[in-house]
Amino acid sequence: MKRPMIGAHTGSGASPDNTLASFMEGVQSGADIVEVDVHAAMDGTAVLLHDDSPYLLTCTFEQLNQPEMRRRLSPTYAEHEIATLEQIFQISDRLGTKLNIDLKSADSIEPAVKLIRQYGAWDRVHITGYSETMTARFPDIPVMINTKLEIDPKQLEQYDKIAQRICEAARREGYTGLNMNYRTCFEPIVETAHKHGLTLWVYTVNEPTQMERFIRMGVDAITTRKPETLLSLLRQ
């Protein structure tokens, strides 16, 4: 049975999401991949942040990282400085950590691509999230499409056709794989993706029974907030 890669979801430890501390917890968990959410500040600096904010349009990274402004963004940042994607690349470059860069806006695309190229990280980075225009503009960057698939029980009998359509489109548009909400992922799409030369990741899987299901299904990566639990199951 193929072993899926373990993706440590942002904030998979005790530290708040999208902080340097949470990233290091992901690294130390034994995961193969660590996910970070990325926006861009007004000056084009890629920063770790999940939610959009009007301050991103009016503040440079240096301004955003001032204590008063950090607290406006979120109480989380009262005790934690805002991390930059470049800091993450510096650490992952040294440790060889694979990254899932979950882009949250169009403005975050070019700063992220610039850093991937600067650090020569093509072989250890996968882009998820906001990916419109990316495969055409940056064909050298590995991008996975978020399927945004919603499954009505009435559609299940049509699922094979849906899977075929999704995979054909992803292949045609230059994506390297599918990134799927686990609730929408069933065996036919895993098989179809692999037949099309695509990888398939599922997120965010935290229950052991669901982890076991996707291990049996043969997905390529499982993103979870409980990487240690998944690692333990894979060692059994």
Averaged pLDDT for residues 54-65: 96
**Length of the chain as a residue count:** 236
* Distance from C-alpha of 235 to C-alpha of 233, rounded to nearest angstrom: 5
Whether 2 shows a pLDDT value over 90: the answer reads no
The model's confidence at residue 149, banded by pLDDT at 50, 70 and 90, is confident
Please give the DSSP secondary-structure letter assigned to residue 80: S
Whether 1 shows a pLDDT value over 70: the answer reads no
Report in angstroms the alpha-carbon separations of 205 from 105, 222, 231.
24, 7, 13
Report in angstroms the alpha-carbon separations of 154 from 158, 159, 164, 190.
8, 10, 17, 20
Question: In the chain, what are the domains?
Answer: 5-235 (3.20.20.190)
Averaged pLDDT for residues 50-79: 93
* Distance from C-alpha of 32 to C-alpha of 116, rounded to nearest angstrom: 18
Strands 46-48 and 125-129: unpaired
Supply the pLDDT for residue 173: 96
Tell me how crowded residue 165 is: count the other CB atoms within 10 A of its CB.
12
Averaged pLDDT for residues 141-164: 86
φ, ψ at 219 (rounded to 5°):
-65, 160
pTM for the whole structure: 0.95
pLDDT tens per residue across span 46-55: 999 999 999 9
Structure tokens at 114: 């610039």
Report in angstroms the alpha-carbon separations of 135 from 145, 174, 193, 231.
10, 6, 18, 32
